[in-house]
Amino acid sequence: MSSPQPHAWLGQFKILLSAIGFGSMAIFARFAYDDGASTPTLLFLRFALAGALLLPWCLAKRLPWPRGRSLLVLMLMGSLGYAGMAACYFTGLHYANAGTISLLLYLFPAIVLALSTVLLKEPFTRRRLLAICLALAGLLVTVGVDLQAQPLGLLLGLSSALIYSLYILAGSRLVHGGHPLTHACVVVLSAACCYGGWLAVNGFAPPHSPAGWGAILGIVLLGTVAALALFLSGLQSTGATQASLISTAEPVVTILLAWLFLGEQLNLTQVLGGALILWAVLLISRESRPEQVALTELHD
């Protein structure tokens, strides 16, 4: 068997780095919260600053933009779907461990699978049944061991996965034309407008110190722009299925970083729950379509 080409290894490494970037966001968010930032303010700054960096990049590269119905769908996905998913995810961090919230979000592949089977009448195979059972078992184990989590935190984590799943289905079915990077730009700017309107009514609550602002910049630069750019770049040489397999490292990264920097407990039962969820994701990823993966990795 021939070994992978050097450019393939580089692509895989980029995908892994993107998973580390995405997985770091929950840690940065907790530091920003501790410094006084509110969730709406954090998300507005994340999306607005990320959009401010992505927009000139897209214009400089003269990338094709979505038009017509696709543009409208992306704007709705950003202002409703992605903004709602991010609100559930980042608010959930106030009520449950970062590792638990990350694992709950990563139920989205199984939820997409179930919704595709029920709503879109896709075939229900043994692989799909096994993946859904593994994901549910991992959910029960993960939720059952996080005794410190408040029910609201668990509900928000599950809600983020459900909203994200609907976001993926809408994007994979209704968006055509353009470039993944311009898609991302439209989504984040639409989400920024949504949170900008919220802040205009309820007030702006930024961090109190440079450390808190540094955490927000970490979310923007490492957890959003760099992670997205690395993923899209790595996707060109790895393909959608392999990229989705490597991306399963994301919740693992969050759990390890939360253990190292936030002092969250790491026990055998949590590892078991996470392993069951990731096993389900590995099974599902063998059926992933390229357009789904490209649209989903905007993240948390």
Express each pLDDT in 83-130 by its tens digit: 999 999 999 999 988 888 888 888 887 888 788 877 777 777 788 788
Greater confidence (141 vs 153) lies with 153
The end-to-end CA distance of the chain, in Å, is: 38
Q: What pLDDT score was predicted for residue 296?
A: 42
Mean pLDDT taken over the chain: 84
Per residue in 17-74, pLDDT (tens digit) is: 998 999 999 999 999 999 999 999 999 999 999 999 999 999 999 999 999 999 999 9
Alpha-carbon torsion, ordered 169, 173, 177, 180, to 10 deg: 20
Q: What pLDDT score was predicted for residue 145?
A: 58
Residue 150 pLDDT class (50, 70, 90 cuts): confident
Q: What pLDDT score was predicted for residue 242?
A: 67
State what percent of residues in the chain have pLDDT above 70.
88
Q: What pLDDT score was predicted for residue 175?
A: 83
| pLDDT of residue 290 exceeding 60 | no
**Both structure tokens of 166:** 């609907």
Q: What pLDDT score was predicted for residue 10?
A: 84
Q: What pLDDT score was predicted for residue 31?
A: 97
Q: Looking at residues 243-250, what average pLDDT do you find?
A: 75
State what percent of residues in the chain have pLDDT above 90.
45
Q: What pLDDT score was predicted for residue 1?
A: 44
Per residue in 168-206, pLDDT (tens digit) is: 888 877 888 888 889 999 999 999 999 999 999 999 999
Scanning 93-179, the segments in alpha helix (DSSP H) are 98-105, 108-119, 126-145, 151-174
Q: What pLDDT score was predicted for residue 249?
A: 81
Query: What sign does the dihedral 136-140-146-149 (CA atoms) show?
Result: positive
Q: Looking at residues 235-257, what average pLDDT do you find?
A: 77
Q: What pLDDT score was predicted for residue 147?
A: 56
Q: Looking at residues 273-286, what average pLDDT do you find?
A: 78
**C-alpha distances out from residue 300 to 53, 188, 294, Å:** 18, 12, 15
In the block, residue with structure tokens 């094709």: 64
**C-alpha distances out from residue 185 to 47, 141, 188, 190, 265, Å:** 9, 37, 5, 8, 36
